[in-house]
Chain A
Amino acid sequence: MNANGKTPLVEIRGLHKTYNEGLPNAEEVLHGIDLVIQPGEFTALIGPSGSGKSTLLNILGLLESASGGSYRLGGRDVTAFGDDERTLARHEVLGFIFQFHHLLPAFSAAENIMLPGLIGRSRAVVQSDLRERAMELLDAVGLREACDKKPTELSGGMQQRVAIARALVHGPQLVLADEPTGNLDTHTSDSIFELLRRFNRDFGTALLIVTHDPRLAARCDRIVELVDGRIADDRANQRSS
């Protein structure tokens, strides 16, 4: 519980990360991070290369574990979770958008979106509902026509829209996006950002976007800046759209 009575979505205290722990080439990349993210927050994570952004994102995404400190996700202490528990938590609470789209080339656009639901078939929706939900999302990202196309038949911007739809299909509370517009042109990049913004508004999904693009960061509600594995700045953004 914090001051305004809500359980924070993410609560990180004194987080450390050291690679190659115990070896001569050990390297600490995160030196005691404290970070709290509220449900529905729209946050940019910025910082120079090598500042530890990706590592922090991976730890938040339960893809890597921290070397020290604590992590509470959705009110649960996930610090000591084993692989299966982390996998389940990823599936239930988190969505991922990667820089290079990362769709599965063997599956059509609609099927890529259905994949998370298929993985958790025992606890997820009925399959026909899954297809329906995928089509709704494709509609929402403006790609209903492309539902049966393979990723290779889609442009970069279209692929990223599909990836966004996939990240949202099972209603995650937090979507982690690593340079989601990184290799897209300005125009496409804008429309992708708009899409994320819209989902944040419509579904109340919290987003944490790692970006190099100051223009993009400037349009988020909150900007967290990481320098050399420490949080150098954390400010609310008044000018955000």
Chain B
Amino acid sequence: MNALGFELTVALRFLREGRMQTALIIGGAAIGVAVIFFITAVLTGVQGDLIKRVTGAQPHIVIKPPEEIVAPLIAGSADGSRLASIQARPQRLTTIDGWPALARNTEMTDGVVAVAPVATGSALGIKGEASRSVVIVGTDLERYLRVVRLDEKVKSGALLLETGDALIGIELAKDLGAVLGDRFRVQSALGNSEVFRIRALLDLGSRELNRRYVYTDLRAAQSLLGIPGRITNLDVAVNDIMRAEIVSAQLRAQSGQLIESWIQTNNQVFAAIKNQDIMTLLIRFFITVVVALGIASVLVVSVVQKRKEIGILRAIGATRRQMLGVFLLQGGIVGVGGALLGSVLGMMLVSLFSRILRNAEGQALFSLSFDFRLIAYVVVGAAVLGLMAAVLPARNAARLDPAQAIRG
């Protein structure tokens, strides 16, 4: 019993002595931790699924050239007459000037992990009798993969974009009656046309995208769209998708380009996610409070029960500080014990419900990942919580007057 030191030895003995109380409060803390663990996993899964669904093949941030606006020639004359209406002009395909420099600057911005140049515009996909309107996305595949994980969306075929290669949505292939390896023609509004070989079929997460998207190499798209050497947007990936808007604001301040984050384009989804976050934060907070109150109340009772023993220990030379330590440690031990047990319980819950809760495609909504960082975080947090919950009872124990305590 010696190696642990006085405070820890006595704390452990006291906990062991109050078997039932200790078991109950560790159980209570464990259930609290398990629930926190579980809702965190579910929330992460559900939100991840939602974001994936919503953003699909979208980059986190798109940098576009500024919109062309109509500048009225008459700004309002001296007699007060005004133009009755200003007609917005149809937007031509515009390009970003000096994009290599802009891409470099963007890449160096805080929070940005990757930038890819894109030339995109609409065209017609033609195979035999069938023709469909398509969106051409010409890019440098190697750079683009770091922005949008097309590799996760490959249904069949190989992810390759050499000259004359194309990756197309599965629905488009169906519409054109094409299979992997087939060739089809793409014709732009300018009349330029080029033939591509289908290298891979992609499932981009939504029907609309699947029936329109054609990925080609940058040069082919540029020549089709009649903008050789130029691009129409820079697609950007950030490290924290929830902070895309903050990064956007920074980019906006740096350049005169039009900058759109996925959060802007999917405003309502983002608001829903934020509300969910706040709700779960509240739930977690209140569970934490309940657990802390539970630990505190058990220790308050324990101090009363152990008055005499505290008195004896004080009489034979234990200092106030040592008694404080004994009860603080009990709180900490109960917290850590509850957290470890709760983590196991939480993982069991997650593993059970990952079999029950599924998304629209029938895939598990969340997966059981042994996130040791989360466990370490929960254990440390619970230890601190236990210590804090024990402060009041421990101070009661330290303040006990030994003469009175012994008298009974």
Contact between chains at B315 and A115 (CB < 8 Å): no
B319 is an interface residue with CB less than 8 A from chain A: yes
Contact between chains at B315 and A61 (CB < 8 Å): yes
B287 is an interface residue with CB less than 8 A from chain A: no
- The 8 A CB mask of B271-314 against A (1 = contact, 0 = none) is 00000000000000000000000000000000000001100111
- The 8 A CB mask of A92-119 against B (1 = contact, 0 = none) is 1001101000101111000100111011
Kindly identify which residue among A87, A104, A114, A121 contacts B309, using a CB–CB cutoff of 8 Å: A104
A130 is an interface residue with CB less than 8 A from chain B: yes
- The 8 A CB mask of A140-157 against B (1 = contact, 0 = none) is 000000000000000000
Contact between chains at A90 and B315 (CB < 8 Å): yes
Q: Which residues of B contact A92 (CB under 8 A)?
A: 317
Q: Tell me which of B8-16, B99-107, B153-161 binds A.
A: B8-16
A202 is an interface residue with CB less than 8 A from chain B: no
Chain B contact-residue range equals: 20 to 34
Contact between chains at B317 and A88 (CB < 8 Å): yes
Q: Which residues of B contact A107 (CB under 8 A)?
A: 1, 13
Q: Which residues of B contact A120 (CB under 8 A)?
A: 317
B318 is an interface residue with CB less than 8 A from chain A: yes
When C-beta atoms are compared, the residue in chain A nearest to B322 turns out to be A119
Kindly identify which residue among A63, A88, A130 contacts B402, using a CB–CB cutoff of 8 Å: A63
When C-beta atoms are compared, the residue in chain A nearest to B12 turns out to be A106
Q: Which residues of B contact A131 (CB under 8 A)?
A: 2
A185 is an interface residue with CB less than 8 A from chain B: no
Contact between chains at B403 and A96 (CB < 8 Å): no
Kindly identify which residue among A54, A102, A104, A119 contacts B317, using a CB–CB cutoff of 8 Å: A119
Kindly identify which residue among B6, B313, B402 contacts A121, using a CB–CB cutoff of 8 Å: B6
Separation of A228 and B162 alpha carbons in the complex (Å): 109
Contact A96 to B1, CB < 8 A, known contacts A102-B308, A107-B13, A121-B6 = no
B3 is an interface residue with CB less than 8 A from chain A: yes
Contact A87 to B314, CB < 8 A, known contacts A104-B309, A118-B6 = yes
When C-beta atoms are compared, the residue in chain A nearest to B13 turns out to be A106
Chain A nearest Cβ from B299, distance in angstroms: 16
Q: Which residues of A contact B191 (CB under 8 A)?
A: none
Contact between chains at A87 and B16 (CB < 8 Å): no
B316 is an interface residue with CB less than 8 A from chain A: yes
Contact A166 to B316, CB < 8 A, known contacts A64-B403, A106-B17, A107-B13 = yes
A127 is an interface residue with CB less than 8 A from chain B: yes
A91 is an interface residue with CB less than 8 A from chain B: yes
Chain A nearest Cβ from B326, distance in angstroms: 11
B80 is an interface residue with CB less than 8 A from chain A: no
User: Which of A61, A83, A92 has the most CB atoms of chain B within a 10 A radius of its CB?
Assistant: A83
- The 8 A CB mask of B366-404 against A (1 = contact, 0 = none) is 000000000000000000000000000000000000110
A38 is an interface residue with CB less than 8 A from chain B: no
Kindly identify which residue among A87, A98, A119, A121 contacts B320, using a CB–CB cutoff of 8 Å: A87
Chain A nearest Cβ from B317, distance in angstroms: 3
Separation of A173 and B308 alpha carbons in the complex (Å): 25
Q: Which residues of B contact A63 (CB under 8 A)?
A: 315, 402-403, 406
Interface residue tally for chain A (C-beta within 8 Å) = 32
Q: Which residues of B contact A121 (CB under 8 A)?
A: 2, 5-6
Q: Which residues of B contact A106 (CB under 8 A)?
A: 13-14, 16-17
- The 8 A CB mask of A147-191 against B (1 = contact, 0 = none) is 000000000000000000010000000000000000000000000
Q: Which residues of B contact A102 (CB under 8 A)?
A: 308, 312, 406
Q: Which residues of B contact A88 (CB under 8 A)?
A: 317, 319
Q: Which residues of B contact A87 (CB under 8 A)?
A: 314, 317-320
When C-beta atoms are compared, the residue in chain A nearest to B18 turns out to be A106
Contact between chains at B406 and A98 (CB < 8 Å): yes
Interface residues of A in 204-219 (CB under 8 A from B): none
Contact between chains at B312 and A104 (CB < 8 Å): yes
User: Which of B3, B16, B315, B322 has the most CB atoms of chain A within a 10 A radius of its CB?
Assistant: B315
Chain B nearest Cβ from A223, distance in angstroms: 24
Separation of A63 and B6 alpha carbons in the complex (Å): 21
Chain B nearest Cβ from A137, distance in angstroms: 14
Q: Which residues of B contact A115 (CB under 8 A)?
A: 313, 316
Q: Which residues of B contact A95 (CB under 8 A)?
A: 316
A200 is an interface residue with CB less than 8 A from chain B: no
Contact between chains at B316 and A90 (CB < 8 Å): yes
Separation of A88 and B402 alpha carbons in the complex (Å): 14
Q: Which residues of A contact B317 (CB under 8 A)?
A: 87-88, 90-92, 116, 119-120
When C-beta atoms are compared, the residue in chain B nearest to A99 turns out to be B406
Separation of A84 and B314 alpha carbons in the complex (Å): 10
User: Which of B2, B5, B313 has the most CB atoms of chain A within a 10 A radius of its CB?
Assistant: B2
Contact between chains at B316 and A91 (CB < 8 Å): yes
When C-beta atoms are compared, the residue in chain B nearest to A126 turns out to be B2
A79 is an interface residue with CB less than 8 A from chain B: no
Separation of A127 and B5 alpha carbons in the complex (Å): 10
Separation of A217 and B404 alpha carbons in the complex (Å): 26
When C-beta atoms are compared, the residue in chain B nearest to A116 turns out to be B316
Given A96-B315, A106-B14, 18 further pairs, Cβ under 8 A: A58-B403, A87-B314, A87-B317, A91-B316, A95-B316, A98-B406, A102-B406, A104-B309, A105-B17, A106-B16, A115-B316, A116-B316, A116-B317, A118-B9, A119-B313, A119-B318, A121-B5, A121-B6
- 25 A/B residue pairs, CB under 8 Å, sorted by A: A54-B407, A58-B403, A63-B402, A64-B403, A87-B317, A87-B318, A88-B319, A90-B315, A90-B317, A95-B316, A98-B312, A102-B406, A104-B13, A104-B309, A104-B312, A104-B313, A106-B14, A106-B17, A107-B13, A111-B1, A114-B1, A114-B2, A116-B317, A118-B2, A127-B2
Closest A-B pairs by Cβ, 6 of them? A91-B317, A127-B2, A106-B13, A63-B403, A106-B17, A58-B403
